Amino acid sequence: MAEVPELSDLPMDISENDEEFYANDLPSTMKVNKYSHCHEIRYTCLSKIKLDIRKPEKSLHSFKKVLVLATVVEKLKGEFNNQHFFYDNDLLSPVQENITFRAIKDEEAAITRFRYSKTSEHVIRDLNRKSLKLEGNDSIVASFLAGENLDQELKINVDTYLEGKPNKEKLPVTLSIASRKLYFCCAAEGTTNRVLCLTKVDDIKGKVDDDLSPFIFYYRKVDNQHNTFESAEFPGYYISTSQTGGEKLQMKPENDHVFRREFTMTPRLV
């Protein structure tokens, strides 16, 4: 006679998931989809969602910006195809604004043509060894001096200047009688004649450019012993002496062969 087993002795293959428990006993065609209830819940939720579409509120100013931007984009399409460029005016609305400005005037220090460098004292004689001496108050003559007459020989102050565009062959200088402030000056007499005169100047360093130019002479070496003095105011004219003694110093052109324009300079220790 068969015995009925106790309930506790039966094997219980129970899963915590009820669907899996019952699914094991169902035919394959009747398997339960464990996610089906999720789809049903999702569908139910979506069915309850109502679309509420509202038209965005935009100001007239924003609408104008959109139009400007659309215009620029369309213009760019055509401009780049034609290899052209757009300008700032294409991006700006035609609004005129008053622009205020303040004019600033820059004043630069004037650059002078000649700049003072230094002063030295010399004895100057012409090619024939004639000395320079003062005659009256406004004339310089070249004479042969000897013995006691050598005391009449002039001592000449030579002020050296630097030029903006220096020339190695020509050095700008001024010539004056030492301790008298009488300066050699080249001036025009008539339309073609140039004369050498003495002019008193209290402060030669205060003169610049055009005011200083008549007093400037270009010192140029001819050889190891001799040099010339060419006028800066009248280029081509030189301080010159005659062949005979006792004649005034004059300004003569370069093509003059009667007067001599070579001089010697002997520095003096002061």
Q: Give the per-residue pLDDT at 70.
A: 75
Residue ranges of the domains in the chain?
18-46, 60-89, 114-267
pLDDT in tens, the chain (270 residues): 445 455 455 455 444 444 444 444 444 444 445 445 545 555 554 555 555 555 555 555 666 677 777 777 776 666 555 554 445 554 445 555 566 655 544 444 456 889 999 999 999 999 999 999 999 888 999 999 999 899 999 999 999 999 988 888 899 999 999 888 999 999 998 888 999 999 999 999 999 989 999 999 999 999 999 999 999 999 999 999 998 989 999 999 999 989 999 999 999 865
Pick the closest to residue 184 from 253, 232, 143, 247 (CA basis): 232
Pick the closest to residue 182 from 161, 194, 196 (CA basis): 196
Q: Give the per-residue pLDDT at 247.
A: 94
Q: What is the pTM of this model?
A: 0.59
CATH architecture of 114-267: Trefoil (2.80)
Q: Give the per-residue pLDDT at 57.
A: 56
- Residues 211 and 203 sit within 8 Å (Cβ to Cβ): no
In which region does residue 229 sit, left (phi positive, over 0), alpha (psi from -120 to 50) or beta (all else)? beta
Pick the closest to residue 243 from 263, 258, 265 (CA basis): 258
Distances 249 to 12, 75, 179, 194, 209 between C-alpha atoms, Å = 148, 84, 20, 12, 25
Pick the closest to residue 211 from 190, 185, 237 (CA basis): 185
- The tokens for 61 are 């100013």
195: CB partners within 8 A, 6+ apart = 186, 187, 188, 189, 250, 251
Q: Give the per-residue pLDDT at 132.
A: 96
Name the CA radius of gyration of the chain, rounded.
Answer: 55
Pick the closest to residue 225 from 185, 250, 262 (CA basis): 262
- The tokens for 217 are 């002479």
Q: Give the per-residue pLDDT at 98.
A: 63
Q: Give the per-residue pLDDT at 110.
A: 54
Distances 204 to 4, 58, 208, 228 between C-alpha atoms, Å = 148, 81, 9, 22
What is the rounded distance in angstroms from the CA atom of residue 6 to the CA atom of residue 198? 155
